[in-house]
Amino acid sequence: MAKYFDVHPENPQRRAISQAVDIVRTGGLIAYPTDSCFALGCQLGNGAGIDRIRSIRRLDERHHFTLVCQDFAQLGQFVHVSNAVFRAVKASTPGSYTFILPATKEVPRRLLHPKKKTVGVRIPNHVVAQALVAELGEPLLSSTLLLPDQQEAMTQGWEIKERLEHVVDAVIDSGDCGTEPTTVIDFSQDEPEIVRRGAGDTIRFE
């Protein structure tokens, strides 16, 4: 049964954040709030956690997982960013964007798109998500909490606890969560491609 952490949206309790991150470090899978819906998250090298996310969401191998990063410096360790892309990404972070970019060798192979060798990265503009990543000290491997039988992502912590308490290890609820998924921009080719229009404004990528 999943543990439930009710944390303050602006000043999340350090003890609760630390306990949630301990669950991640010991192989657990958490549901946590971001500025763009709730997400499922586990540690980067957690193969079983990746499989659990795939099972919950019924994802195929072409799905782009996202590395939720604390800042731009951390993001740069896991993806290759050209000068032109750097300016566009930097101007849009933190925020409700996911960027698909060529991965570095720091990213486990099983996370990569099988043909493009790319991965999604983002820097959330959400206090609790930022606190979790800061405490973890590395990106949180994540995927939007969108269940296969639903048209919209889940945004209520109590509802997630009731629905998923036997398939996740913890739910972090701050009562303050975005209601629309991220805008997804693919920078793996010469021109940016808008893969999904979501909470982030797309005008600079048109």
143, 51 in Cβ contact below 8 A? no
> What residue spans define the domains of the chain?
3-205
Residue among 38, 39, 68, 41 at smallest CA distance from 175? 38
CB 53 within 8 A of CB 42: yes
Which positions ≥6 away from 153 have C-beta within 8 Å?
Answer: 37, 38, 144, 145, 146, 179, 180, 181
The residues that bridge with 144 in the sheet, in sequence order, are 39
> Taking 90 as the threshold, does the pLDDT of residue 101 lie above it?
yes
CATH fold, domain 3-205, is DHBP synthase (3.90.870)
**What would the two tokens of residue 76 be?**
């740069």
Q: Enumerate residues 6+ apart whose C-beta is below 8 A from 14.
A: none
Confidence at residue 154, expressed as pLDDT on a 0 to 100 scale: 83
The CA distance from 43 to 136, in Å, is 9
Band of the pLDDT at 109, cuts 50, 70, 90?
confident
Average pLDDT of the chain, as a whole number: 93
pLDDT, tens only, 10-37: 999 999 999 999 999 999 999 999 999 9
Confidence check: pLDDT of 69 > 90: yes
Tell me, what's the pLDDT at 184?
Answer: 96
- Residue 168 CA to residue 170 CA, distance in Å, equals 6
CA–CA separation, 122 and 46 (whole Å): 19
Confidence label for 62 from pLDDT (cuts 50, 70 and 90): confident
Q: 118-140 pLDDT, tens per residue?
A: 999 999 999 999 999 999 999 99
Cβ–Cβ < 8 Å for 35, 96? yes
Q: Positive or negative, the Cα torsion across 53, 43, 21, 11? A: negative
Counting every residue, how long is the chain? Answer: 206
For residue 162, pLDDT over 90 is answered with yes
Adjacent-strand bridge partners of 99: 121, 185
Give the residue ranges of DSSP H helices in 69-126.
Answer: 72-75, 83-91
Q: Across the chain, how many H-helices and E-strands are there?
A: 6, 10
